[in-house]
Structures are given as C-alpha cells and as structure tokens.
C-alpha cells in the first residue's frame, strides 16, 4: 500500500492495523480454510463467513462465530446452538475490534516425508527426509467504510514458496497474495465489484492447492492470484463471479503474463445440494513452461451434496485445452486436450473430526506429462479454538503412458494456528 503526502485518517488506520497484526506473527507463527463442506450446515454461499464472496481467507465476525459453534470439536456435550462467546474472536477476544475492521493472523507448519522408496516398515530414505516447512505466516485485514472496502494481506514467504506473490527478494521474503479495493452494490449488497490482486474465480474453492484441478487450471489460492477486475453476485439460489484477468504484475517481463477471463456460477438444487459451471480462457505471448505463445482454456463443472449431516460429496471435472501457434510458416497450430477430475468425500462422525478420502485423475496432460492418478487418505481435527491438525497419506502415479512413469508416496502433517 502506497500513501500519498495527503494521508487520510482512514488510510492510516488501515496501515496501523496491518502493522499491528503483522507484529502478532512474532508471537505465533496458511490462510484461513475454505470450507465447501459447510453445505452440511445449510451454508451454500460464502460471503456470510468470508470477506471474499467466493470463499477462503479472511473471516467475518459472523464467520468466526460459526467456526467456534459448528467447526471446532468439543470434548463433551455440544448442541451447536450455544452462544459462541468471545473465544472465537480476534486474539481469543482479548482485543475488541471496531465494526469497520477485520483482522486475522494465520500460521501453518508442515512436516513432509517422501516414503516412496522405503515404504512398508523400512526407514525412510536418507537425506532431508523428513523435512520441515513454514507453509504460511500471514496477516489479513479489511476496512469497510459504508459500501467501500479495502482488503489485503501480508506474510512471510519461505525459500521457494509463493514466488509469484513476492514483494521483496531473498530466501525469506515478504509476500502479498491478495490486495484489492471493492464496492458493494445493490439493495442488501448482493454485488461486489473489486479491483486489485484477486483469487481467480473458478471451480471449488478448496485448500488443496496441489490438487490436479487447481494446478492444471492454475487457480489455487496459494500463489495463483492475478491482477484484474471482478464482479461477484450472491443471491438466494445463485452465486457466481467473473473476472477480467490483467496478468500477474509480479511476473517479468510482460510477455510471460497471462491475460483473459475466468468465472463460475453455482445454483442451489436443494437444501444441501448445489451444482456449478466454470470457464476460463487466457493468453500469454511466452508460456513459462513451453516457451511459446499459448492460449489456455479450462471449462468444467462442479457439485456439492450432503445426503446426511455426517457426509459431504464434492466433485469437479474440467476440460483443458492448450493451443500453440504453428512453429513453422507452413505448419499448423498444435492443440492438446486434457481433463482434470477431483472427487472427495468428507466424513465427519463427530464435530471437528474429518476423514476425507480423495481420488484424482489428470488425463492427457497438455504439457506432455502423460496421465496421472492420485489417491489420498486425509484426516483433519479441529481440536481447540483457532487450532487444527491435518495428516495426509498421498499415493500418486504420474506420467502413465510415457517412457518415464513415476510412483510417489507422500506423508504430510500440518499444524495450523489462527488468531
């Protein structure tokens, strides 16, 4: 954020709030979760609990209350109708924020082990196995003045992570994934018009940023944000967002930036069932992987369904198209088709305890990496206010149909704090 010499008191309040929240990261060390499985509680839209109308990131005051009431586990009797009190608030309620200000600090650490070679009781491979990573240390803030709001985050980037979000250089860098200004429009504010660096609206808003559907479409919420303008709508039956993508200005030179559009629309079929469609087309003069001009398409559908309170089924399938120009004056353009599919079952036998078996398929990867399949057993436990633990056992077969297929077995443990 750059302030002119004519600083306004409102702008100074926002800046001071960001500095205060950043300081909290020295006390506790990934962004707030995206919970598409909240449909089990009849929450089909995201803007009641998140500042981002498409979900994930900074929680509203109402969202913090719902996290305390409906998300975290309890050791004892709990009906889900209790008053959440102040423990779910910022800093466990020790600091009372004004109504115009939202603040949030997140930290996530990861222990990662590649068990591919020595799985089945033998020791893990030598070297850096297992490894520790700082996945994210972030502060998010939003200030609202009538219908106008400003929103942004600031965090610490570990070596090799979130490079496209870097603000400074070095192994450990300041990063900013999102920052935007928005205007609420219409009676009861069903529309939000935003400009800045924004999460690309496409498909399921999930935290699994390495999933095939998010990586193949380049729409994860870890570091795939783009600069542009978006218009979001949230209604009783329909929600959606469309974005004009101006490119990632953190990427240089300009030839490597993608420009185009992305959007989705989701319709409520029943109390606990929704279905949606997504579409995205971008163009770059020089693709970072192929080194040629590239038109990239992703078009697909997704759905969420909760047949019982303890079960939520989420699925997404996207058609991919990569189109390269002719490499010779007499040649023809090269068009490659592919598909990315994601299916996850969220099982919550008791509140706060989630088992999430997941299956994925990446077929005929347009970048020439063959077909890949993935299956994972995921466990998540929201065992205390503002704290959760996640464990993933992931099996992947990559490059099937090529001369160099690879098999990988990964074990990951994560601990997440939120203030």
- Residues 232-262: pLDDT tens digits? 999 999 999 999 999 999 888 999 999 999 9
More confident site: 129 or 101: 101
What does the pLDDT read at residue 258? 95
The bridge status of strand 259-270 relative to strand 311-324 is unpaired
What does the pLDDT read at residue 407? 86
| Torsion angle, alpha carbons of 208, 209, 211, 215, to 10 | 170
pLDDT higher than 80, residue 30: no
Q: What is the mean pLDDT of residues 97-106?
A: 93
Could you give the percent of the chain with pLDDT greater than 70?
Answer: 85
Radius of gyration of the chain (CA): 22
CA distance 355 to 39: 16
**Per-residue confidence band for 16, with pLDDT thresholds at 50, 70 and 90:** very low
Q: How much is the mean pLDDT over the chain?
A: 84
CA distance 244 to 330: 34
Count Cα neighbours of 398 within 13 Å in the Cβ-side half-sphere: 13
Do residues 263 and 201 make contact, with C-beta atoms less than 8 angstroms apart?
A: yes
Collapsed DSSP state (helix, strand, coil) of residue 273: strand
Do residues 238 and 263 make contact, with C-beta atoms less than 8 angstroms apart?
A: no
Only one residue has tokens 């450990």, namely: 172
Q: What is the mean pLDDT of residues 118-144?
A: 71
Only one residue has tokens 């601990």, namely: 415
DSSP assignment of 179-229: EEEEEEESTT--EEEEEEEE----S---S-TTSHHHHHHT--TTT--EEEE
Count Cα neighbours of 386 within 13 Å in the Cβ-side half-sphere: 17
What does the pLDDT read at residue 80? 65
- Helix, strand, coil percentages (3-state) for the chain, rounded to 5, are 10, 45, 40
CA distance 233 to 94: 34
What does the pLDDT read at residue 14? 41
CA distance 98 to 115: 49
Mean pLDDT check: name the lowest of 25-34, 131-140, 221-230. Answer: 25-34
What does the pLDDT read at residue 23? 40
pLDDT higher than 80, residue 22: no
Nearest Cα to 32, choosing from 192, 205, 182?
205
Q: What is the mean pLDDT of residues 302-319?
A: 96
Q: What is the mean pLDDT of residues 66-89?
A: 80
Q: Which residues are paired to 393 by β-bridges?
A: 377, 411
The bridge status of strand 101-114 relative to strand 179-185 is unpaired
| Torsion angle, alpha carbons of 9, 15, 16, 18, to 10 | 150
Total residue length of the chain: 419
- Residues 334-347: pLDDT tens digits? 888 899 999 999 99
What does the pLDDT read at residue 21? 40
Do residues 323 and 339 make contact, with C-beta atoms less than 8 angstroms apart?
A: no
Burial 107-140 (b: 16+ CB within 10 A, else e): bbbbebbbbbeeeeeeeeeeeebeeebbbbbbbb
Do residues 348 and 41 make contact, with C-beta atoms less than 8 angstroms apart?
A: no
What does the pLDDT read at residue 118? 54
Structure-token pair, residue 305: 């369904």
Handedness of CA 250, 218, 321, 273 (dihedral sign): negative
What does the pLDDT read at residue 335? 81
Q: Which residues contact 120 (CB under 8 A, 6 or more apart)?
A: none
pLDDT higher than 50, residue 297: yes
**Per-residue confidence band for 133, with pLDDT thresholds at 50, 70 and 90:** confident
Q: What is the mean pLDDT of residues 310-336?
A: 84
Collapsed DSSP state (helix, strand, coil) of residue 323: strand
- Residues 355-401: pLDDT tens digits? 999 999 998 765 566 789 999 999 999 998 889 999 999 998 887 77
CA distance 393 to 358: 10
What does the pLDDT read at residue 195? 98
What does pTM read for this prediction? Answer: 0.85
pLDDT higher than 60, residue 186: yes
| Structure letter (DSSP) for residue 254 | G
CB atoms < 10 A from the CB of 20, how many?
14
What does the pLDDT read at residue 79? 67
CA distance 50 to 35: 10
Structure-token pair, residue 142: 């939003």
**Per-residue confidence band for 145, with pLDDT thresholds at 50, 70 and 90:** very high
Burial 161-177 (b: 16+ CB within 10 A, else e): bbeebbeeeeeebebbb
**Per-residue confidence band for 33, with pLDDT thresholds at 50, 70 and 90:** low
What does the pLDDT read at residue 393? 93
> What residue ranges define each of the domains in the chain, with the CATH number in brackets?
9-418 (2.40.160.10)
């Amino acid at each position: 954020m750059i302030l002119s010499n004519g600083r306004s008191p409102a702008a100074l309040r926002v800046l001071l709030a960001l500095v205060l929240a950043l300081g909290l990261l020295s006390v506790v060390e990934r962004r707030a979760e995206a919970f598409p499985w909240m449909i089990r509680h009849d929450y089909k839209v995201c803007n009641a609990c998140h500042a981002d109308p498409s979900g994930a990131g900074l929680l509203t005051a109402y969202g913090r209350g719902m996290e305390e009431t409906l998300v975290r586990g309890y050791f004892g009797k709990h009906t889900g109708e209790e008053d959440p009190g102040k423990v779910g608030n910022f800093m466990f309620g020790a600091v009372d924020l004004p109504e115009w200000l939202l603040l949030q600090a997140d930290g996530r650490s990861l222990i990662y082990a590649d068990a591919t070679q020595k799985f089945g009781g033998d020791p893990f491979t030598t070297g850096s196995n297992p490894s520790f990573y700082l996945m994210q240390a972030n502060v998010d803030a939003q200030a609202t003045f009538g219908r106008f709001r400003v929103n942004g985050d600031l965090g610490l980037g570990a070596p090799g992570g979130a490079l496209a979000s870097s603000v400074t250089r070095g192994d450990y860098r300041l990063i900013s994934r999102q920052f935007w200004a928005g205007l609420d429009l219409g009676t009861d504010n069903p529309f939000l018009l935003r400009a800045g660096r924004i999460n690309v609206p496409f498909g399921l808003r999930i935290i699994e940023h390495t999933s095939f559907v998010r990586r193949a479409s380049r729409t994860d919420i870890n570091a795939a944000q783009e600069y542009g303008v978006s218009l979001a709508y949230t209604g009783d039956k329909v929600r959606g967002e469309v974005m004009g993508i101006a490119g990632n200005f953190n990427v240089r030179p300009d030839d490597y930036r993608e420009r185009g559009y992305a959007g989705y629309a989701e319709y409520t079929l029943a109390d606990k069932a929704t279905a949606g469609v997504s579409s995205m087309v971008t163009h770059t003069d020089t693709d970072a992987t192929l080194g040629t001009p590239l038109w990239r398409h992703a078009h697909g559908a997704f759905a969420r369904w909760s047949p019982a309170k303890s079960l939520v089924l989420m699925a997404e399938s996207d058609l991919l198209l990569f189109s390269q120009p002719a490499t010779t004056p007499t040649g023809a353009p090269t068009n490659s088709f592919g598909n990315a599919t994601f299916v996850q079952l969220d099982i919550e036998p008791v509140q706060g305890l989630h088992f999430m078996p997941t299956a994925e398929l990446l077929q005929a990867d347009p970048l020439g990496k063959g077909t890949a399949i993935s299956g994972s057993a995921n466990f998540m436990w929201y065992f205390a206010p503002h704290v959760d633990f996640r464990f993933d056992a992931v099996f992947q077969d990559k490059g099937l149909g090529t001369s160099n297929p690879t098999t990988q077995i990964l074990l990951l443990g994560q601990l997440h704090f939120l203030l």
